[in-house]
Structure 1
Amino acid sequence: MSATQQIAEAFTTARAAGRAIDAYPGTPPATLAEAYAIQAAAIARWSEAVAGWKVARVNPAFAAQFPEERLIGPAFARNVHRVAQGGTAQCPVFEGGFAAVEAEVVIVVAADSPAGKSDWTAESVIPLVKSMHIGVEVASSPLATLNDIGPGAVISDFGNNWGVVVGPEIANWRELETIAVETFIDGRSVGTGKVAIQPGPLGALAFTLNKRAQQGQTLKAGDVISTGMITGVHDIRIGQQSRHVFGGVGEVQVQITKATATGA
């Protein structure tokens, strides 16, 4: 078995068992090509359908080694949680691993994207937006130090994603320039921020379309795209609850539970 397959097997086995691992299972990928090769191998080993993608910024400290502004990772069908205004999503994380919540704008894709097109921009993606929602990414990995190792490690382990919460729709997103957001954990404010619709969520969708096209793939109608953190990456523990308030739109709540064996 190749090193790529060994790393993919280690992470997917741990995720399927709902357990943590103590160290990166091999040599962390040194390039984007290596990282996405491991991610592809892990997706191929996983029995659930990909229902969307998370997007995150590449830490500037790693920009020379991983020269892309963003990275992507798959979100699987059972980890996409849809909640109405005032609802609470029950989201699992790996005990002993990495766990965080991130307030994000989530885009639902309107139609299958055309094959081979890789020159999308924040302006040209607008027809592919079926709806835009307030939401949350639940980041979790069996490896507690995954983020510290860097973007290559993050990409290799499903982009450190284990949940996308799709909250109420932002019905008037075309008329908005920015949305102010605040995150609370167990009632305590832990971060504030402001998202700019065009360079933020729409730019993230454009990046995802272009990246998937480069990989010979497309986005599908109904895919959800979690477009990047707004108030920060907030560590969270099993049993805690987060609340994410999007000014003028609504709020989303997340109850963190313990990941169990999925058999996937």
Structure 2
Amino acid sequence: MSNPQEISAQFTAARAAGRSLPAYPGTPPATLAEAYAVQAAAIARWPDAVAGWKVARVGPAFATQFPEERLIGPAFAPNIHRPAVGAVASCPVFEGGFAAVEAEIVIVVAQDAPVGKADWTADTVLPFVQSMHIGVEVASSPLATLNDIGPGAVISDFGNNWGVVVGPEIPNWRELETIEAETFIDGVSVGTGKAVIKPGPLGALAFTLNKRAQQGAVLKAGDVISTGMITGVHDIRIGQQSRHVFAGVGEVRVQITRAAG
């Protein structure tokens, strides 16, 4: 069984120092309960406030071991980026670790959630959507192989998150069924995809509301929810720049920098 305090101590120390880890620090969590126990211990060790959550799908290969459709990880206040229209967001990643960018829809939460309610669906979460934005998740971990190990490892290390870029608002999102996106790295197209508003982003919001309620917590007004990749998980290196184009809405640009200690 994994040791939440030992694992969280090593991951948070590496993140604070801006350095990589050569291997998973201990036994990777084998269950969702173990994984979220490590995550909770790591959040308690980290000095910054949680200002939102990233959401990702659990892949089919891991569905039996980790029987939930999605997973969540914290996004901390200093890692929420809101660049001006046309500006480039500067986002750090861990040199020698894992680093990727993902075009995503980002939801800003409208109000505090009620305590204990854990039966939200994509049809009932509309009162919690203050606004919906095009955006980017910057995924990064001190451990280069984190994703390969699986969802237990990903959950344990802040959900492999180190940034959420909140781009331009999608003013007419209620009228849309889908949003198409394309990702470029250094000018080269690396992926295209389509977000289905329901059950995609709205389903991710419902999952996060339910998961936090099960954990004895709630989402707060102003929290940002990065709702899951659209064009893929695209590896990126320090010094590179990505551009994420959302048809009919706009684009988001990200400059990748080195995380400092």
Q: TM-score range by the shorter chain?
A: over 0.9
1:74-153 pair list within 5 angstroms: 74-153=74-153
Q: Tell me which residue corresponds to 2:237.
A: 237
Secondary structure at the counterpart of residue 8 of structure 1 = helix
Distance 1:17 1:85 in 2: 32
Secondary structure at the counterpart of residue 43 of structure 1 = helix
State the aligned residue count.
Answer: 260
Distance 2:69 2:28 in 1: 20
Distance 1:62 1:167 in 2: 32
Residues 1:168 and 2:154 aligned together: no
Q: Tell me which residue corresponds to 1:187.
A: 187
Q: Tell me which residue corresponds to 2:4.
A: 4
Q: Percent identity?
A: 82
CA contact (8 A) 1:120 1:207 kept: yes
Q: Tell me which residue corresponds to 1:56.
A: 56
Distance 2:157 2:61 in 1: 20
1:85 Cα deviation (Å)?
2.3
Secondary structure at the counterpart of residue 251 of structure 1 = strand
Distance 1:16 1:123 in 2: 40
Q: Tell me which residue corresponds to 1:259.
A: 259
1:4 Cα deviation (Å)?
1.1
Structure 1: gaps spanning 5 or more residues: none
Residues 1:246 and 2:246 aligned together: yes
Q: Which runs of 4+ in 1 moved over 3 A?
A: none
1:3 Cα deviation (Å)?
1.7
RMSD: 0.7
Secondary structure at the counterpart of residue 239 of structure 1 = coil
Report the residue type matching 2:250 in the other structure: G
CA deviations 1:194-222 (Å, max 9, x no partner) are 00111100000000000000000000000
Distance 1:136 1:11 in 2: 23
Report the residue type matching 1:43 in the other structure: I
Q: Provide the TM-score with structure 1 as the length reference.
A: 0.98
Distance 1:107 1:117 in 2: 20
Q: Tell me which residue corresponds to 2:46.
A: 46
CA contact (8 A) 1:85 1:250 kept: no
Secondary structure at the counterpart of residue 74 of structure 1 = strand
Report the residue type matching 2:192 in the other structure: T
Secondary structure at the counterpart of residue 8 of structure 2 = helix
Q: Provide the TM-score with structure 2 as the length reference.
A: 0.99
Q: Tell me which residue corresponds to 1:196.
A: 196
